[in-house]
Chains A and B, each alone.
Chain A
Amino acid sequence: MSKEHDKGMSLIVKVITRLTVGLILLFGIYIILHGHVSPGGGFAGGVIIALSFVHLMLAYGKDVALKKFPKTAMSFFESMGAILFLSIALLGFTGGYFFLNFISKGEPFRLFSAGTIPLSNIAISLKVGAGLFAIFVVLVLLKFEWEKKE
Protein backbone atom coordinates (compact mmCIF):
# COMPACT_ATOMS: atom_id res chain seq x y z
CA MET A 1 0.00 0.00 0.00
CA SER A 2 2.69 2.45 0.96
CA LYS A 3 4.63 1.61 -2.17
CA GLU A 4 1.64 2.44 -4.28
CA HIS A 5 1.55 5.91 -2.81
CA ASP A 6 5.07 6.73 -3.89
CA LYS A 7 4.22 6.77 -7.56
CA GLY A 8 1.80 9.02 -9.39
CA MET A 9 0.49 12.34 -8.22
CA SER A 10 -0.22 13.79 -4.77
CA LEU A 11 -2.63 12.40 -2.20
CA ILE A 12 -5.42 14.87 -3.00
CA VAL A 13 -5.46 13.80 -6.62
CA LYS A 14 -5.49 10.15 -5.65
CA VAL A 15 -8.42 10.48 -3.27
CA ILE A 16 -10.49 12.39 -5.79
CA THR A 17 -9.57 9.92 -8.51
CA ARG A 18 -10.74 7.06 -6.34
CA LEU A 19 -14.11 8.78 -6.02
CA THR A 20 -14.56 9.79 -9.64
CA VAL A 21 -13.05 6.98 -11.66
CA GLY A 22 -15.91 4.59 -10.95
CA LEU A 23 -18.44 7.21 -11.87
CA ILE A 24 -16.71 7.94 -15.16
CA LEU A 25 -16.64 4.23 -15.99
CA LEU A 26 -20.33 3.92 -15.12
CA PHE A 27 -21.18 6.96 -17.24
CA GLY A 28 -19.34 5.40 -20.15
CA ILE A 29 -21.36 2.20 -19.80
CA TYR A 30 -24.59 4.21 -19.55
CA ILE A 31 -23.75 6.07 -22.74
CA ILE A 32 -23.01 2.83 -24.58
CA LEU A 33 -26.19 1.06 -23.53
CA HIS A 34 -28.44 4.03 -24.31
CA GLY A 35 -26.75 4.78 -27.63
CA HIS A 36 -29.88 4.07 -29.63
CA VAL A 37 -32.30 6.17 -27.58
CA SER A 38 -30.20 9.16 -26.54
CA PRO A 39 -27.08 10.95 -27.79
CA GLY A 40 -23.84 9.02 -27.45
CA GLY A 41 -23.25 5.51 -28.62
CA GLY A 42 -20.48 2.98 -28.86
CA PHE A 43 -17.72 5.26 -29.93
CA ALA A 44 -18.18 8.07 -27.40
CA GLY A 45 -18.79 5.54 -24.62
CA GLY A 46 -15.69 3.57 -25.57
CA VAL A 47 -13.54 6.67 -25.43
CA ILE A 48 -14.99 7.56 -22.01
CA ILE A 49 -14.10 4.09 -20.71
CA ALA A 50 -10.59 4.48 -22.09
CA LEU A 51 -10.39 7.90 -20.44
CA SER A 52 -11.36 6.47 -17.05
CA PHE A 53 -8.37 4.13 -17.22
CA VAL A 54 -6.17 6.97 -18.47
CA HIS A 55 -7.33 8.96 -15.46
CA LEU A 56 -6.35 6.11 -13.15
CA MET A 57 -2.98 5.81 -14.80
CA LEU A 58 -2.20 9.53 -14.58
CA ALA A 59 -3.09 9.65 -10.91
CA TYR A 60 -1.68 6.36 -9.63
CA GLY A 61 1.11 5.54 -12.06
CA LYS A 62 1.31 2.73 -14.56
CA ASP A 63 1.49 -0.24 -12.18
CA VAL A 64 -1.94 0.19 -10.64
CA ALA A 65 -3.64 0.90 -13.94
CA LEU A 66 -1.99 -2.01 -15.71
CA LYS A 67 -2.96 -4.34 -12.87
CA LYS A 68 -6.60 -3.34 -13.42
CA PHE A 69 -6.39 -3.69 -17.19
CA PRO A 70 -3.37 -5.75 -18.29
CA LYS A 71 -1.85 -5.51 -21.76
CA THR A 72 -2.86 -9.02 -22.76
CA ALA A 73 -6.48 -8.21 -21.92
CA MET A 74 -6.22 -5.04 -24.00
CA SER A 75 -5.12 -6.76 -27.19
CA PHE A 76 -7.64 -9.54 -26.60
CA PHE A 77 -10.59 -7.15 -26.14
CA GLU A 78 -9.49 -5.11 -29.11
CA SER A 79 -9.44 -8.01 -31.52
CA MET A 80 -12.56 -9.52 -29.97
CA GLY A 81 -14.50 -6.29 -30.43
CA ALA A 82 -13.49 -6.16 -34.07
CA ILE A 83 -14.40 -9.80 -34.66
CA LEU A 84 -17.71 -9.40 -32.83
CA PHE A 85 -18.70 -6.48 -35.02
CA LEU A 86 -17.69 -8.33 -38.17
CA SER A 87 -19.69 -11.36 -37.03
CA ILE A 88 -22.77 -9.20 -36.51
CA ALA A 89 -22.29 -8.04 -40.06
CA LEU A 90 -21.80 -11.56 -41.39
CA LEU A 91 -24.72 -12.95 -39.38
CA GLY A 92 -26.90 -10.69 -41.49
CA PHE A 93 -26.41 -13.28 -44.23
CA THR A 94 -28.86 -15.48 -42.34
CA GLY A 95 -31.50 -13.05 -43.54
CA GLY A 96 -29.95 -12.83 -46.97
CA TYR A 97 -28.01 -9.56 -46.72
CA PHE A 98 -24.67 -8.40 -45.39
CA PHE A 99 -25.31 -6.18 -42.35
CA LEU A 100 -29.01 -6.99 -42.21
CA ASN A 101 -30.62 -5.94 -38.93
CA PHE A 102 -31.84 -9.49 -38.32
CA ILE A 103 -33.16 -9.27 -34.75
CA SER A 104 -36.70 -8.07 -34.16
CA LYS A 105 -36.94 -4.33 -33.62
CA GLY A 106 -38.89 -4.49 -30.37
CA GLU A 107 -40.82 -1.65 -28.84
CA PRO A 108 -39.39 1.80 -29.61
CA PHE A 109 -37.84 3.99 -26.87
CA ARG A 110 -37.02 0.98 -24.68
CA LEU A 111 -33.53 -0.17 -23.74
CA PHE A 112 -34.05 -3.53 -25.45
CA SER A 113 -35.08 -2.42 -28.89
CA ALA A 114 -33.66 -1.66 -32.30
CA GLY A 115 -32.35 -5.15 -33.09
CA THR A 116 -28.61 -5.34 -33.63
CA ILE A 117 -27.89 -1.67 -32.92
CA PRO A 118 -27.18 -2.04 -29.15
CA LEU A 119 -25.08 -5.14 -29.82
CA SER A 120 -23.02 -3.27 -32.39
CA ASN A 121 -22.61 -0.44 -29.87
CA ILE A 122 -21.19 -2.85 -27.31
CA ALA A 123 -18.82 -4.42 -29.82
CA ILE A 124 -17.55 -1.04 -30.97
CA SER A 125 -17.11 0.22 -27.42
CA LEU A 126 -15.01 -2.83 -26.49
CA LYS A 127 -12.82 -2.24 -29.49
CA VAL A 128 -12.48 1.50 -29.05
CA GLY A 129 -11.95 1.45 -25.29
CA ALA A 130 -9.26 -1.23 -25.37
CA GLY A 131 -7.63 0.13 -28.53
CA LEU A 132 -7.33 3.74 -27.42
CA PHE A 133 -6.07 2.79 -23.97
CA ALA A 134 -3.49 0.56 -25.68
CA ILE A 135 -2.30 3.47 -27.82
CA PHE A 136 -2.05 5.68 -24.74
CA VAL A 137 -0.16 3.09 -22.70
CA VAL A 138 2.27 2.35 -25.50
CA LEU A 139 3.04 6.01 -26.10
CA VAL A 140 3.42 6.82 -22.39
CA LEU A 141 5.62 3.83 -21.65
CA LEU A 142 7.87 4.59 -24.62
CA LYS A 143 11.29 5.16 -23.08
CA PHE A 144 13.88 6.66 -25.35
CA GLU A 145 17.12 4.80 -25.84
CA TRP A 146 19.22 7.45 -24.16
CA GLU A 147 16.81 7.65 -21.22
CA LYS A 148 17.37 3.98 -20.50
CA LYS A 149 21.09 4.38 -20.08
CA GLU A 150 20.83 7.21 -17.58
Chain B
Amino acid sequence: MIIYLLCLILFCCGLYCILRKRNIIKIILGIIIAEYAVNLFFILVAYRMEGRSPILSSDVEIVNMVDPLPQALVLTAIVIGLATTALMVALAMRIYEKYKTFDITKIKELRG
Protein backbone atom coordinates (compact mmCIF):
# COMPACT_ATOMS: atom_id res chain seq x y z
CA MET B 1 0.00 0.00 0.00
CA ILE B 2 2.60 2.59 1.13
CA ILE B 3 4.98 1.34 -1.51
CA TYR B 4 2.40 1.87 -4.26
CA LEU B 5 1.91 5.40 -2.95
CA LEU B 6 5.66 6.13 -2.98
CA CYS B 7 5.77 4.91 -6.55
CA LEU B 8 2.93 7.20 -7.60
CA ILE B 9 4.63 10.10 -5.81
CA LEU B 10 7.61 9.48 -8.09
CA PHE B 11 5.19 9.58 -11.04
CA CYS B 12 3.80 12.90 -9.81
CA CYS B 13 7.34 14.32 -9.50
CA GLY B 14 7.75 13.63 -13.20
CA LEU B 15 4.32 15.09 -13.95
CA TYR B 16 5.13 18.26 -12.01
CA CYS B 17 8.36 18.61 -13.97
CA ILE B 18 6.52 18.27 -17.30
CA LEU B 19 3.81 20.73 -16.39
CA ARG B 20 5.81 23.42 -14.64
CA LYS B 21 9.36 23.53 -16.00
CA ARG B 22 10.12 25.84 -18.88
CA ASN B 23 13.20 24.13 -20.27
CA ILE B 24 12.98 21.56 -23.04
CA ILE B 25 15.57 19.19 -21.54
CA LYS B 26 13.85 19.39 -18.14
CA ILE B 27 10.57 18.38 -19.77
CA ILE B 28 12.27 15.37 -21.36
CA LEU B 29 13.75 14.44 -17.97
CA GLY B 30 10.28 14.71 -16.44
CA ILE B 31 8.89 12.28 -19.01
CA ILE B 32 11.77 9.87 -18.32
CA ILE B 33 11.08 9.98 -14.57
CA ALA B 34 7.36 9.40 -15.08
CA GLU B 35 8.12 6.45 -17.36
CA TYR B 36 10.38 4.94 -14.71
CA ALA B 37 7.62 5.26 -12.15
CA VAL B 38 5.04 3.52 -14.34
CA ASN B 39 7.47 0.69 -15.14
CA LEU B 40 8.30 0.22 -11.47
CA PHE B 41 4.61 0.20 -10.60
CA PHE B 42 4.00 -2.56 -13.11
CA ILE B 43 6.74 -4.72 -11.58
CA LEU B 44 5.52 -3.94 -8.06
CA VAL B 45 2.04 -5.31 -8.72
CA ALA B 46 3.65 -8.52 -10.01
CA TYR B 47 5.78 -9.15 -6.91
CA ARG B 48 5.07 -12.09 -4.69
CA MET B 49 6.26 -12.31 -1.09
CA GLU B 50 9.40 -14.47 -0.84
CA GLY B 51 9.17 -14.90 -4.60
CA ARG B 52 11.82 -16.23 -6.98
CA SER B 53 12.68 -14.95 -10.42
CA PRO B 54 10.81 -16.76 -13.21
CA ILE B 55 13.74 -18.77 -14.60
CA LEU B 56 13.56 -22.53 -14.33
CA SER B 57 16.54 -24.63 -13.39
CA SER B 58 17.28 -28.18 -14.46
CA ASP B 59 18.34 -29.47 -11.03
CA VAL B 60 15.94 -28.06 -8.46
CA GLU B 61 12.27 -27.35 -8.73
CA ILE B 62 11.57 -23.72 -7.97
CA VAL B 63 8.26 -22.85 -6.41
CA ASN B 64 6.66 -19.51 -5.69
CA MET B 65 7.81 -17.62 -8.76
CA VAL B 66 6.81 -14.01 -9.33
CA ASP B 67 4.39 -13.07 -12.10
CA PRO B 68 6.36 -13.17 -15.40
CA LEU B 69 3.80 -11.40 -17.59
CA PRO B 70 4.33 -7.82 -16.31
CA GLN B 71 8.08 -8.30 -16.66
CA ALA B 72 7.64 -9.09 -20.33
CA LEU B 73 5.35 -6.10 -20.76
CA VAL B 74 7.74 -3.74 -18.96
CA LEU B 75 10.53 -4.83 -21.30
CA THR B 76 8.34 -3.63 -24.16
CA ALA B 77 7.44 -0.44 -22.33
CA ILE B 78 11.12 0.39 -21.68
CA VAL B 79 11.91 0.10 -25.37
CA ILE B 80 8.97 2.29 -26.28
CA GLY B 81 10.18 4.85 -23.74
CA LEU B 82 13.67 4.78 -25.24
CA ALA B 83 12.27 5.31 -28.73
CA THR B 84 10.19 8.30 -27.63
CA THR B 85 13.13 9.79 -25.73
CA ALA B 86 15.46 9.49 -28.71
CA LEU B 87 12.91 11.20 -30.93
CA MET B 88 12.40 14.00 -28.43
CA VAL B 89 16.14 14.59 -28.03
CA ALA B 90 16.47 14.83 -31.80
CA LEU B 91 13.63 17.37 -31.88
CA ALA B 92 15.17 19.30 -28.99
CA MET B 93 18.54 19.53 -30.70
CA ARG B 94 16.99 20.75 -33.93
CA ILE B 95 14.99 23.33 -31.99
CA TYR B 96 18.21 24.44 -30.31
CA GLU B 97 19.80 24.80 -33.70
CA LYS B 98 17.00 27.05 -34.92
CA TYR B 99 16.40 29.15 -31.81
CA LYS B 100 19.72 28.85 -29.92
CA THR B 101 17.87 28.28 -26.67
CA PHE B 102 16.11 25.53 -24.72
CA ASP B 103 13.73 27.94 -23.02
CA ILE B 104 10.18 27.40 -24.24
CA THR B 105 8.98 30.82 -23.14
CA LYS B 106 11.32 32.25 -25.78
CA ILE B 107 10.25 29.70 -28.40
CA LYS B 108 6.82 30.98 -29.23
CA GLU B 109 6.08 31.38 -32.86
CA LEU B 110 2.76 29.64 -32.64
CA ARG B 111 -0.17 31.03 -30.79
CA GLY B 112 -1.74 28.49 -28.42
| Touch A–B, Cβ below 8 Å | yes
The answer, among B55, B56, B93, B100, for a CB contact under 8 Å with A39, is B55
Contact A144 B97 (CB under 8 A): yes
- Give the chain B neighbours of A144 by CB distance below 8 A: 96-97
Q: Is A38 an interface residue (CB 8 A)?
A: yes
A145 within 8 A of B: yes
A41 and B55 CA atoms in complex are apart in Å by: 13
Within 8 Å by CB of B58, from A38, A41, A108, lies A108
Nearest-Cβ distance from residue A25 to partner chain B, whole angstroms: 20
A85 beta carbon closer than 8 Å to chain B: no
Please state if A38 and B55 are interface contacts (CB–CB under 8 Å).
Answer: yes
Q: Give the A interface residue count (CB, 8 A).
A: 16
The 8 Å CB contact of B75, one of A43, A145, A146, is A43
Query: Bound state CA distance, A139 and B94, in angstroms?
Result: 10
B46-60: contact bitstring with A at CB < 8 Å (1 yes, 0 no)?
000000010110100
CB contacts under 8 Å to B, within A24-74, are: 37-39, 41, 43
B90 at the interface (CB under 8 A from A): yes
Asked if B107 is an interface residue, CB under 8 A from chain A, the answer is: no
Q: Number of residue pairs across A and B with beta carbons under 8 Å?
A: 26
Q: Give, as a whole number of angstroms, the nearest-CB distance from B86 to chain A.
A: 5
A135 nearest in chain B by CB position: B86
In the complex the two chains form, is A139's CB within 8 Å of B75's CB? no
Asked if A139 contacts B90 (CB within 8 A), the reply is yes
- Number of chain B residues close to chain A: CB under 8 A: 14
B100 neighbours in A (Cβ, 8 Å): 146
With both chains docked as a complex, state the minimum distance between the C-beta of B12 and any C-beta of chain A, in angstroms: 29
Given A43-B75, A144-B97, A145-B97, A139 and B89 contact (CB-CB distance below 8 Å): yes
Interface string of A99-115 (1 = CB under 8 A from B): 00000000011000000
Within 8 A of B (CB), among A54-98: none
Closest Cβ of chain A to B68, distance in Å, is 12
The reply to whether A109 and B93 form a contact with Cβ atoms under 8 Å apart is no
B79 near A: Cβ within 8 Å?
A: yes
Do A142 and B93 have beta carbons less than 8 Å apart? yes
Q: Whole-angstrom distance between the alpha carbons of A29 and B26 in the complex?
A: 35
A selection of 18 A-B contacts at a CB cut-off of 8 Å is A37-B55, A38-B55, A39-B53, A39-B55, A108-B56, A108-B58, A109-B56, A109-B58, A132-B82, A135-B86, A135-B90, A139-B86, A139-B89, A139-B93, A142-B93, A144-B96, A144-B97, A145-B97
